[in-house]
């Protein structure tokens, strides 16, 4: 286990050193969050009573989304990993006494986490001091706060487990670009990254509930704002666990198959 | 102890002719050809041996190395290294081997080399004292003390290669696979790398398997060579014996004045290879005619300005072997 920890640590430290990028990210996400909130504000002015959450809840959702963007960003893929599969550097990684799946999983986690650590606080702190309906509110209750932490951790792992599947496809396709684009669009739409899931028509929501994507960022954020309450929280977290287990098992099986057939090209 | 028995591996390569029509056709139906990369490869290498694994490009050298290091799974055959099958017991197996692929880098590109070493230390769980001992020894032998604090991207190829070799030996492996370790290196770095490999093999009793196209590597390092061509082992033997077998042929390069008409008639055992503008190349079979006699015979008939004798270098020997086996 120690070797995996130090792999994680070294990547994490590596990720922390990009301060300029972090500040740029903070300001972009702050601007983006403000714009999204203002756009929703326009809709709420007209028919606010027909929406599934209050405007303050929505603002909170958007700020949480922006603050933890790095954990759930769908477009981020570690190019090192694609590069190592396509160019064959994976040969060296296979010569190490480590499990490749675990190693890549940790690598992804550490990059996303190191970015989130640098960015979440400035955004959240600034958002707390905004005027009332535009600010971030405290969690609905204590259980909500605790379960939010459990759920966001699980959602984060689920996100990484899903992107692992995309990396593994690079073993079988010469260029992973097509699948990447497809995956990014699917994720953006079905995880609630563009529009929070409760805003979708009921029929569509039912379909989304049986897909893994709703359990990535949507579940923890909805728990925080109190949209998911009581026993539904437990069901949500349980489904997160089940999906996580399933995606990891699928990933591991596919990886095993891919490595059996691996051909190191070029010398 | 490395034992390979009847290892076979085929690769499927897609092929199509040039042109739009062909490209369109291959969209629906693709033609594949199977390439037999390894065809019943068998050999045994004992502990502490140093073996040169040679063959032309595409002969299957790298594939063999990749199978032995657990990266590739062969189609059939048996491979037992220190009692384990590499591709089945990959993690346990790779702890005991070190691998250097001359054309790839294992060092982390934008951090100092020493950071990569530290990471390797944690990955292989090398304990502190062994790590320090190995690090000191390796930095001294490879003369990299000055450069390990530099990021890998700023190193020259020769410096980087020395660091790569050090990185693959930090965990004191029992077997070291070197896949073209001297590719692209200058003479000084080559000598340093060779000297080092020799020391490691002698002092640590590390088994070394080396693939290379540089015959000086082979000459300087290995006693035993294995020749592979078109996926088949063609020859497995002691380098010296091979040399003896081929040493009956010498080549004379002669610069002379005059028209060189006397070269048209040569005694038995001499054979004109090339004759151009006062420069001739003559093959001499020393089992028929000693070299001294051949020179005497030449100088009697013409005025020689310069002469050189090339024996059978390993390079030529290998060319002869390649020709002999038609690979």
Per the domain annotation, does B87 fall within a domain? yes
pLDDT band at A30 (very low <50, low <70, confident <90, very high): very high
Per the domain annotation, does B222 fall within a domain? yes
Residues of A in contact with B106 (CB under 8 A): 92, 95
B265 and B218 in a single domain? The answer is no
B111 shares contact with chain A (CB less than 8 Å): yes
Of residues A87 and B82, the one with the higher pLDDT is B82
Of residues B213 and A69, the one with the higher pLDDT is A69
Its ipTM equals: 0.71
B62 shares contact with chain A (CB less than 8 Å): yes
Residues of B in contact with A2 (CB under 8 A): 122, 125
A129 shares contact with chain B (CB less than 8 Å): no
Residues of B in contact with A265 (CB under 8 A): none
Of residues A135 and B58, the one with the higher pLDDT is A135
pLDDT given for residue A31 in this prediction: 94
Is the pLDDT assigned to residue A266 strictly greater than 50?
no
Which among B71, B123, B180 has the least Cβ separation from residue A97? B123
Q: Of A26, A37, A27, which Cα lies nearest the Cα of A134? A: A37
Is the pLDDT assigned to residue A140 strictly greater than 90?
no
Residue of B nearest to A98 (CA): B91
A228-236: average pLDDT: 91
Residues of B in contact with A78 (CB under 8 A): none
| E strands in B16-114 | 31-45, 50-54, 76-81, 97-101
A2:B125 CB<8 A: yes
pLDDT band at A267 (very low <50, low <70, confident <90, very high): very low
| Chain B closest-CA separation from residue A87 CA (Å) | 9
Is the pLDDT assigned to residue B317 strictly greater than 50?
yes
pLDDT given for residue B276 in this prediction: 81
Residues of B in contact with A94 (CB under 8 A): 69-71, 90, 94
Q: Which tokens is B164 given?
A: 């790569």
Range of weakest confidence among A216-230, A236-250, B5-19: B5-19
Sign of the C-alpha dihedral, residues A180, A181, A184, A190? negative
Number of H helices, E strands in chain A: 12, 0
Residue of A nearest to B97 (CA): A95
Is the pLDDT assigned to residue B147 strictly greater than 50?
yes
Is the pLDDT assigned to residue B65 strictly greater than 70?
yes
State the average pLDDT for chain A: 89
B278 and B300 in a single domain? The answer is yes
Range of weakest confidence among A229-233, B201-205, B246-250: B246-250
pLDDT given for residue A40 in this prediction: 92
Range of weakest confidence among A40-44, B151-155, B278-282, B312-316: B312-316
B73:A260 CB<8 A: yes
B86 and B232 in a single domain? The answer is yes
Residue of B nearest to A11 (CA): B119
B70:A94 CB<8 A: yes
Question: Number of Cβ pairs closer than 8 Å across A and B?
Answer: 68
Residues of A in contact with B91 (CB under 8 A): 97-99
Highest mean pLDDT among A49-53, A160-164, B60-64: A160-164
A94 shares contact with chain B (CB less than 8 Å): yes
Crossing angle (nearest 10°) for helices A100-128 and A55-67: 130
pLDDT band at B298 (very low <50, low <70, confident <90, very high): confident
Which among A2, A97, A267 has the least Cβ separation from residue B103? A267
B119 and B264 in a single domain? The answer is no
pLDDT given for residue B257 in this prediction: 83
B143 and B190 in a single domain? The answer is yes
B125 shares contact with chain A (CB less than 8 Å): yes
A57-65: average pLDDT: 95
B68 and B158 in a single domain? The answer is yes
pLDDT given for residue A258 in this prediction: 87
Percent of chain A's residues with pLDDT above 70: 97
Alpha-carbon span B259 to B272, nearest angstrom: 15
Residue of A nearest to B123 (CA): A3
- Of the residues B208, B228, B243, the one at which a domain ends: B243
Residue A214 contacts residue A191 (beta carbons within 8 Å): yes
A3:B104 CB<8 A: no
| Chain B closest-CA separation from residue A103 CA (Å) | 10
Residues of B in contact with A261 (CB under 8 A): 73
B239 and B254 in a single domain? The answer is no
Per the domain annotation, does B210 fall within a domain? yes
| Structure confidence by residue, pLDDT tens digits, B172-195 | 999 999 988 888 888 888 888 898
* 3-class DSSP assignment, residue B269: coil
Alpha-carbon span A228 to A144, nearest angstrom: 9
Highest mean pLDDT among A4-18, B214-228, B248-262: B214-228
B135 and B170 in a single domain? The answer is yes
Which among A97, A261, A267 has the least Cβ separation from residue B91? A97
B271 and B147 in a single domain? The answer is no
Is the pLDDT assigned to residue A265 strictly greater than 60?
no
Per the domain annotation, does B20 fall within a domain? no
Residue of B nearest to A9 (CA): B119
* 3-class DSSP assignment, residue B282: strand
- C-alpha dihedral over B261, B263, B268, B272, to 10 degrees? -140
B125:A89 CB<8 A: no
Say if strands B249-257 and B97-101 run parallel, antiparallel, or are unpaired.
unpaired
CATH number at residue B271: 3.30.70
Per the domain annotation, does B325 fall within a domain? no
Residues of A in contact with B103 (CB under 8 A): 266-267
| E strands in chain A | none
Domain encompassing residue B302: 248-311
B255 and B196 in a single domain? The answer is no
Number of domains chain B contains: 2
Which among A10, A89, A263 has the least Cβ separation from residue B11? A263
Per the domain annotation, does B33 fall within a domain? no
> Residue B203 contacts by C-beta under 8 Å, 6 or more apart in sequence?
none
B149 and B297 in a single domain? The answer is no
pLDDT given for residue A89 in this prediction: 79
Alpha-carbon span B55 to A3, nearest angstrom: 38
Q: Which tokens is A257 given?
A: 């198959």
pLDDT given for residue B63 in this prediction: 87
Alpha-carbon span B252 to B299, nearest angstrom: 12
Per the domain annotation, does B29 fall within a domain? no
| Chain A closest-CA separation from residue B124 CA (Å) | 7
B70:A264 CB<8 A: no
DSSP labels for B102-122? TTS--S-TTSBHHHHHHHHHH
B252 and B107 in a single domain? The answer is no
Q: Which of B12, B110, B123 to mutate to test the interface with A (most CBs of A within 10 A)?
A: B123
Per the domain annotation, does B35 fall within a domain? no
């Amino acid at each position: 286990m120690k070797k995996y920890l130090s792999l994680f640590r070294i990547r994490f430290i590596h990720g922390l050193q990009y301060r300029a990028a972090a500040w740029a990210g903070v300001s972009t996400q702050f601007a983006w969050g403000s714009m999204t909130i203002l756009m929703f504000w326009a809709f709420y002015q007209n028919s606010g009573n027909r929406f599934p959450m209050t405007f303050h809840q929505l603002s909170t959702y958007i700020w949480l989304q922006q603050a933890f963007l790095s954990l759930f960003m769908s477009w981020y893929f570690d190019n090192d990993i694609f590069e190592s599969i396509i160019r064959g550097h994976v040969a060296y990684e296979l010569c190490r006494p480590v499990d490749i799946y675990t190693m890549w999983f940790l690598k992804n986690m550490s990059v996303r986490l190191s970015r989130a650590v640098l960015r979440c606080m400035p955004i959240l702190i600034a958002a707390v001091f905004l005027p009332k309906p535009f600010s971030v509110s405290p969690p609905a209750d204590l259980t909500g706060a605790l379960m939010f932490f459990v759920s966001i951790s699980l959602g984060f792992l689920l996100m990484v487990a899903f992107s692992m599947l995309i990396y593994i496809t690079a073993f079988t396709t010469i260029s992973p670009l097509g699948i990447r684009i497809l995956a990014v669009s699917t994720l953006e739409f079905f995880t609630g990254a563009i529009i929070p899931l409760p805003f979708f028509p009921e029929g569509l929501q039912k379909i989304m509930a049986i897909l893994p994507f709703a359990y990535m960022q949507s579940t923890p954020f909805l728990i925080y704002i109190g949209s998911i309450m009581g026993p539904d929280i437990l069901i949500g977290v349980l489904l997160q666990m089940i999906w996580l287990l399933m995606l990891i098992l699928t990933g591991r099986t596919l990886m095993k198959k891919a490595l059996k057939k691996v051909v190191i090209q070029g010398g | 102890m490395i034992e390979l028995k009847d290892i076979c591996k085929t690769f499927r390569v897609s092929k199509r002719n040039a042109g739009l029509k062909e490209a369109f056709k291959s969209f629906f139906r693709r033609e594949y050809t199977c390439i037999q990369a390894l065809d019943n490869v068998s050999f045994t290498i004992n502990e502490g041996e140093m073996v040169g694994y040679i063959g032309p490009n595409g002969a299957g050298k790298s594939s063999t190395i990749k199978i032995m290091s657990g990266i590739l799974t062969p189609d059939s055959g048996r491979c037992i290294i220190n009692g384990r099958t590499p591709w089945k017991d990959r993690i346990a197996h790779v702890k005991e081997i070190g691998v250097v692929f001359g054309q790839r880098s294992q060092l982390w590109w934008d951090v100092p080399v020493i950071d990569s070493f530290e990471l390797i230390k944690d990955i292989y769980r090398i304990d502190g004292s062994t790590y320090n001992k190995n690090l000191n020894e390796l930095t001294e032998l490879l003369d990299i003390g000055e450069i390990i604090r530099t990021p890998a991207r700023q190193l020259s190829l020769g410096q980087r290669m020395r660091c790569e070799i050090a990185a693959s030996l930090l965990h004191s492996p029992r077997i070291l696979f070197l896949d073209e370790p001297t590719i692209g290196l200058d003479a000084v770095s080559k000598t340093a790398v060779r000297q080092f490999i020799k020391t490691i093999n002698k002092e640590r009793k590390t088994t070394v398997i080396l693939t290379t196209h540089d015959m000086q590597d082979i000459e300087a390092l290995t006693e035993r060579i294995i020749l592979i061509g078109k996926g088949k082992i063609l020859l497995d033997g002691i380098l010296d014996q091979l040399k003896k077998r081929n040493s009956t042929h010498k080549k004379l390069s002669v610069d002379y004045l005059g028209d060189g008409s006397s070269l048209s008639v040569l005694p038995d055992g001499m054979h004109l290879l090339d004759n151009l503008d006062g420069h001739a190349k003559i093959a001499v079979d020393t089992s028929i005619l000693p070299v001294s006699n051949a020179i005497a015979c030449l100088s009697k008939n013409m005025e020689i300005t310069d002469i050189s004798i090339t024996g059978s270098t390993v390079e030529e020997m290998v060319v002869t072997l390649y020709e002999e086996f038609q690979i």
